[in-house]
């Protein structure tokens, strides 16, 4: 009789454990599905609003990769903007590193060097402004976030255009990084517009 009770108890414990595992897995799958839906839906809207700058695939790829490393995952549009601001800051920091390496090229003329110095100042300022945006985002001062993102976009464009004009071959050596940075900044701004319904 005791053996039967022990077997029944073990079976009950196994059943409870299996139910717990299934529940936890379902919770993770539900959160993952919700995260993907959030990203897909808003990236689709952003690419529709500004198709000349924003591509759906880029938007989804960036946010999915970054979101997969977050626990808990993003649950709203403000969370996605926060991710994009972090990615933008990382990108700007990378641009500053590239500028530093380019500036060591002895074959560059003084105009190219001066433009690189100006670009360094602009991207350094962008990193500072992105930190301010994080604070504004937490305080939900969305108008300030949108305005500052617009200023950052203008600064990066000025750098790219000036560098293209001064660089050999007429193509900025920061062109690839600029277009990544531009999309990250502009997706953030469109998301803010969606939040504020503007």
Structural domain for 100, as ranges: 3-195
74 DSSP assignment: P
The CATH number of the domain where 13 resides is what?
1.20.140.40
pLDDT at 29: 43
Q: How far apart are CA 123 and CA 32, in angstroms?
A: 34
CB contact at 8 A, 83 and 103: no
pTM as predicted = 0.81
pLDDT category of residue 2 using cuts at 50, 70 and 90: low
Q: What is the pLDDT of residues 138-178, one digit of tens each?
A: 999 999 999 999 999 999 999 999 999 999 889 999 999 99
Q: How many domains does the chain have?
A: 1
Q: How far apart are CA 45 and CA 118, in angstroms?
A: 35
């Amino acid at each position: 009789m005791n053996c039967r009770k022990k077997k029944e108890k073990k079976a009950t414990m196994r059943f409870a454990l299996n139910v717990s595992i299934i529940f936890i897995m379902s919770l993770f799958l539900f959160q993952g599905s919700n995260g993907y839906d959030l990203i897909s839906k808003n990236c689709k809207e952003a690419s529709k609003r500004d198709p000349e700058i924003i591509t759906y695939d880029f938007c989804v790829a960036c946010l999915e990769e970054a979101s997969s490393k977050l626990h808990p995952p993003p649950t709203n549009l403000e969370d996605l903007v926060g991710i994009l601001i972090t990615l933008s800051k990382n990108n700007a920091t990378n641009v500053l590193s590239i500028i530093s390496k380019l500036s060591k090229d002895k074959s560059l003329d003084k105009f190219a060097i001066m433009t690189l110095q100006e670009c360094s100042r602009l991207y350094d300022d962008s990193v500072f402004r992105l930190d301010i945006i994080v604070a504004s985002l937490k305080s939900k001062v969305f108008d300030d976030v949108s305005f500052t993102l617009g200023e950052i976009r203008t600064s990066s464009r000025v750098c790219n255009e000036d560098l293209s004009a001064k660089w050999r071959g007429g193509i900025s050596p920061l062109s690839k990084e600029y277009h990544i940075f531009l999309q990250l900044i502009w997706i953030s701004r469109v998301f803010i517009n969606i939040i504020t319904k503007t």
